[in-house]
Amino acid sequence: MRPDRATDQAVSTEPALSLAAIRAAAARILPYVHRTPVLTSSTLDRRVGARLFLKCENFQKSGAFKARGAHNAVFSLAGDVRAGVATHSSGNHGAALALAARARGLPAHVVAPHTVSAAKAANMTRYGAQLTLCEPTLAAREQAAARIVAQTGAHLVHPFDDYAVMAGQGTAALELLEQVPDLDAVLCPVGGGGLLSGTAVAARGLKPAIRVFGAEPVGADDAQRSLRAGTLTMVEHPRSIADGLLASSLAYSTFALIRAHVDDIATVAEGEIVAAMRAVWEMLKIVIEPSSAVPVAALLQGRLPVAGKRVGVIITGGNVDLDRLPW
């Protein structure tokens, strides 16, 4: 639900996303997603001054954590769903939804900005998405998706304003805390807030005292502004190399959960994102995309109170255009 379609009551009421729903999602998507590894780096630990445990969703199906939410949403659909599914996406959600739809034998319609990276466009079409390009604004994406839904009868699976999607995304944190139970804090990037919402509910449900943090680019800092102001705040023209985090605002559904369960959200500059991305490539020998580097950048820059703590970091994806690396 976008801000102009919600009421003050919708903001103040915490939505019904629970640890039980996330556990049910984990069981539902088990045949379709990977249980991704957790990696560590003593060099990175020394630079940050904390013990880091990186949940590597760059090794996930479709190359990103989005496979979790998409599969949970698609396999939660009931009734006549032969018309398929539709969404709008900067890339990773579109690819994940196409993959999930293919697993259920359904068509998938995806609207993406014409500025989408070549790697992410190829990923979406590879998994069978019927791709429609539009102007690179949220309004254009939403309008194009609405037209497709009206024309085809497809079910809209929003990239983050959907409780089934949020529950699926929360399974990454659920797994992380099974793999490393004694974490003091968990951290992930935030765009529209689906991952951070699911992460917060899963983590706090398992460990009520755990601290939960988000991180976002300074050029797309609506989540930090909203959390600190206590009301949804939009960024009219979000800009960042972290293309997966360019939602102009949280949804009311995700904002309510973030406000209830998240301790703080840090911001990082573009150069810091690039430096963190390169550091992970060099130290851990894995490919991550800029959005994944945002929480690592926040840690490297000392923007969060984690000194001496055990910190789980969700590395969200690895879909990178190798012909256009930022260094």
Query: Domain 66-156 adopts which CATH fold?
Result: Rossmann fold (3.40.50)
pLDDT band with cut points at 50, 70 and 90 for residue 137: confident
Give the pLDDT band of residue 139 (cuts 50, 70, 90). confident
What are the domain boundaries of the chain?
3-65+162-315, 66-156
As a whole number, mean pLDDT of residues 288-311 equals 98
Residue 2 above 90 pLDDT? Answer: no
Q: At what angle do helices 19-29 and 194-206 cross, to 10 degrees?
A: 110
Region of residue 139 (phi > 0: left; psi between -120 and 50: alpha; otherwise: beta): alpha
Beta strand 51-56 with 211-217 is unpaired
Mean pLDDT calculated for residue range 288-293 = 98
pLDDT, tens digit (0-9, with 9 covering 90-100), for 14-55 = 447 999 999 999 999 999 999 999 999 999 999 999 999 999
Distance of alpha carbon 105 from alpha carbon 117, whole angstroms: 27
Per-residue model confidence (pLDDT) at position 1? 37
What is the mean predicted confidence (pLDDT) over 307-311?
98
Is the pTM above the cut of 0.85? yes
Question: How high does pLDDT run on average in the chain?
Answer: 94
Q: How large is the angle between the packed helices 92-104 and 66-76, nearest 10 degrees?
A: 40
Residue 147: DSSP 8-state: H
CA separation (Å) from 188 to 96, 176, 191, 236?
Answer: 19, 12, 10, 23
Distance CA 267, CA 214 (A): 9
Q: What is the mean pLDDT of residues 319-326?
A: 91
Q: Report whether pLDDT(206) > 90.
A: yes
Assess whether pLDDT exceeds 60 at residue 13: no
pLDDT surpasses 80 at 12: no
Check if 3-65+162-315 and 66-156 are the same fold.
yes
| CATH topology classification for 3-65+162-315 | Rossmann fold (3.40.50)
Q: What is the pLDDT of residue 204?
A: 98
